[in-house]
Structure 1
Amino acid sequence: MTSIDRLISLCPPPPTAPATDWLAVEQSLGMPLPADYKQISDTYGPGTFCGFLHLYHPHAHTPWTSLTGPMPSTIRAQLQTGHEQGAPPLPADPQDLFPMAVTDNGEHLFWVTRPAGSPDEWTLAANQARSFQWYTYDGNLARFLTAVLSGQETVPVFPGSLLDHGAFFTPLAPAANLPTVQPEQSSAMASSSDIRAWARDHGYEVPDRGRIPADILDAWQQANTR
């Protein structure tokens, strides 16, 4: 039984999920994607695991949970800025961390994209919202989800109550016409300093250094994504 088979047995998917043109998605991102992620996305579609973990998906119901939307580049730029300003060490170079999921608490799950061009060898990392605590997992997404949803793996940055209602998936209707980020657009994404300035102009309290709180990122995305 494969990791995907175990995941499906543990956490049943919805009857149908939207089809994805993975070639177009990978061309948009400028990188290949792990086979297990594509299979999970094709099986489950956009939605949440245990009402908590939102995998970024090309057909996500909002731009800020879209794999091809603006959030991955924004978060990556934020990590890069913090790294350059002397923030505590990351588990990998900021440019090797690609955000691919977010929790309701504002934690992010990343692919560690090494070695480049070999996505099926990528491992995972997660950070705690509004802190510098990191967790790493030496395996792919399918193994991670199976281990976490079965209770075999405890993620310190996730709540202890995650499995109080068992393992379940809640599908969310895909949105139409979500904006996508082409490779040449990545450098045009707003920097963390731009987002901090916008937040202060709009009455938010935002720290000078470190991660920008998830609620402020969401507000900025809603105000600036059209």
Structure 2
Amino acid sequence: MTALTQLCPPPPRPSRPVNWNSVEAGLGMRLPEDYKQLAATYGPGVFCNYIHIYHPHGITEWVDLTGPMPARIRTQLQVDYDHGTHPVPYDPQHLFAIGGTDNGEYLFWITEPQDAPDTWRIAVNEARGPRWFTFDGTLTQFLTSVLSGETTVPPFPKDLLEQATCFTPSDPTLWTPAQPPPRPPVAGNTIREWARANGYQVPDGGRIPAAIREAWERANPA
């Protein structure tokens, strides 16, 4: 991880914590430790404005590790594998999509052996062609090797590294859970009628006491 962070500095602000127990339980498999460190260090975002790594806090379903994309991609690969539509060098049941590119390539973990995730290698398929590329290392090692120029992935653009190596985080405001909409204004007479029906003493006019308004809001949630 140190080699990657020196090559491509992570965002200065910390990433939102991830409940890895929940994530792994939902996926039904353990995840590589290097990926957990990568996700915690960088958060959701894109490397070199091209390589998107799926994240449990992905801001859309297209980049969400726990969203529908990995299963959709595996289903399509299985169709290609069963019918020979496009060559798939690995059993799709042993491929798990971990990212994608702006050009339409996908990055996969080769999940063999399944009970040793820290040994999983990386595969990349060509977006509009039959070629596949296999990297004999972890995801973090793959990113470090590619972004340093040590490894060339044939489907990736030749000018990928012409600009400075960088990581662009997803807009943090999009990570914030949506807040409930404000309660629409309620006529004072409505609250007064409710209060009297429920044994409260409330004046006919003027400001409704805060305690009575709060009691009405608890009894009438938005």
Q: Same fold (TM over 0.5)?
A: yes
Alignment partners' CA distance in 2, 1:175 and 1:13:
17
Task: Specify the code of the residue in structure 2 equivalent to 1:171.
Answer: P
Q: 1:98 to 1:177 in 2, by over 3 A?
A: farther
Equivalent residue, structure 2, for 1:21: 19
1:6 to 3, 15, 24: 3
2:151 to 141, 147, 153: 153
State the structure with bigger RCO (CA 8 A, min sep 6), 1 or 2: 1
Contact 1:91/1:125 (<8 A) preserved = no
Kindly state the Cα deviation for residue 88 of structure 1 after the two structures are TM-superposed.
3.7
2:33 to 29, 32, 35: 35
Equivalent residue, structure 2, for 1:90: 88
Alignment partners' CA distance in 2, 1:177 and 1:141:
29
Q: 1:84 to 1:177 in 2, by over 3 A?
A: farther
Equivalent residue, structure 1, for 2:126: 128
Kindly state the Cα deviation for residue 156 of structure 1 after the two structures are TM-superposed.
0.4
Equivalent residue, structure 1, for 2:117: 119
Aligned residues: 175
Kindly state the Cα deviation for residue 177 of structure 1 after the two structures are TM-superposed.
6.4
Percent of aligned pairs sharing the same letter: 52
Q: Deviations over 1:111-151 (max 9, x none)?
A: 00000111001000000112211000000011111111111
Contiguous gaps of at least 5 residues in structure 1 = 179-226
Alignment partners' CA distance in 2, 1:29 and 1:121:
18
Q: Any residues of structure 2 matched to 1:55-66 within 5 Å, and which?
A: 55-66=53-64
Q: Any residues of structure 2 matched to 1:141-220 within 5 Å, and which?
A: 141-172=139-170, 173=172, 175=175
Contact 2:74/2:97 (<8 A) preserved = yes
Equivalent residue, structure 1, for 2:77: 79
Kindly state the Cα deviation for residue 48 of structure 1 after the two structures are TM-superposed.
0.2
Contiguous gaps of at least 5 residues in structure 2 = 179-222
Equivalent residue, structure 2, for 1:51: 49
Contact 2:149/2:161 (<8 A) preserved = yes
Contact 2:80/2:87 (<8 A) preserved = no
Structure 2 length normalisation: TM-score? 0.76
Q: Deviations over 1:57-90 (max 9, x none)?
A: 0001111110000000000000001111113432
Q: Deviations over 1:19-40 (max 9, x none)?
A: 1001100000000000001100
Structure 1 length normalisation: TM-score? 0.75
Q: Deviations over 1:176-210 (max 9, x none)?
A: 569xxxxxxxxxxxxxxxxxxxxxxxxxxxxxxxx
